[in-house]
């Protein structure tokens, strides 16, 4: 190998490493909380969990992806060994666009009737809490001590298919989780919209 080719190869490797491991963080943007209720069904083929164990793992991942801790609630709806079900109530950041604000302040007849009976005021655009958030690369394995191992690949893939599409989460093309590896590959990462420090 010539010196020129060796130098080029070294440069390419350094560029690849920097693009793989550098933290992806966007400029702060105006965000708001989006509250929703989700159902998650975990089908176990290799790794089995109790209800409490599954809920803990799911909660850790959701909080790492920006879920507001005080609003996160998980309830088991099924506790069969091979088919666990969770009902998840949570609030996560979304960009405070005109469309998202309109959706959050649009109510149907049932919502209006319930608010009238309870003597509550319906949310208006001026009531919406806004805060700075940023798009950031989040590791689903080691960041924040999630305690997620290769045995949790079924869980991660299940959340990728059922939960992530309903959150402000981007799954990169290189996303993979290897069941047969002793350690989860380090590129099991996503990009999530998360509040800046002290905004949660």
How does pLDDT run across 122-175, given as a tens digit for each residue?
Answer: 889 999 999 999 999 988 875 556 767 767 888 888 999 999 999 999 998 877
CA 2 to chain centre: 46
Q: What pLDDT score was predicted for residue 182? A: 54
Contacting residues for 28 by C-beta, under 8 A, at least 6 apart: 132, 133, 134, 196
What average pLDDT does this structure show over 36-50? 88
Which tens digits make up the pLDDT trace of 9-41? 333 333 333 333 334 567 899 999 999 999 999
> In Å, how far are 63, 64, 148 from 145, measured between CA atoms?
12, 10, 8
Q: Higher-confidence residue: 111 or 195?
A: 195
Cα–Cα distances in angstroms (integers) from residue 119 to residues 38, 71, 122, 131, in the given order: 28, 23, 10, 28
Sheet with 73-80, side-by-side order of all strands: 73-80, 83-95, 29-43, 130-139, 189-195, 169-170
pLDDT (0 to 100) of residue 38: 96
83 pairs with which residues across the strands? Answer: 43, 80
Q: Tell me which of 176 and 172 has the higher pLDDT.
A: 172
Bigger pLDDT: 1 vs 161: 161
Confidence (pLDDT) at 86: 94
Judge whether residue 183 has pLDDT over 60: no
What SS3 class is residue 117? helix
DSSP 147: -
The yes-or-no verdict on residue 4 having pLDDT over 70 is no
Model confidence band, residue 58 (pLDDT cutoffs 50, 70, 90): very high
- pTM to 2 decimal places: 0.77
Predicted confidence at residue 79, as pLDDT, reads 77
Does 5 or 50 have the greater pLDDT score?
Answer: 50
């Amino acid at each position: 190998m010539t010196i020129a080719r060796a130098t080029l190869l070294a440069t390419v490797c350094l560029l690849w490493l920097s693009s793989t491991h550098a933290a992806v963080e966007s400029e702060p943007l105006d965000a708001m909380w989006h509250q929703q209720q989700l159902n998650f069904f975990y089908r176990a083929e290799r790794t089995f969990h109790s209800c409490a164990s599954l809920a803990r793992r799911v909660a850790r991942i959701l909080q790492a992806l920006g879920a507001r801790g005080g609003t996160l609630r998980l309830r088991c709806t099924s506790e069969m060994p091979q088919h666990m079900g969770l009902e998840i109530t949570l609030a996560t950041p979304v960009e405070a666009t005109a469309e998202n604000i309109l959706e959050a302040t649009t109510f149907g007849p049932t919502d209006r009737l319930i608010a009238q009976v309870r003597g509550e005021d319906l949310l208006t655009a001026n009531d919406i809490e806004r805060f700075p958030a940023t798009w950031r690369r989040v590791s689903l394995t080691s960041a924040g001590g999630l305690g997620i191992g290769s045995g949790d690949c079924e869980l991660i893939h299940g959340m990728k298919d059922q939960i992530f599409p309903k959150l402000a989460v981007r799954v990169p093309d290189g996303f993979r989780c290897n069941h047969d590896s002793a350690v989860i590959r380090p590129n099991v990462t996503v990009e999530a919209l998360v509040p800046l420090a002290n905004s949660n």
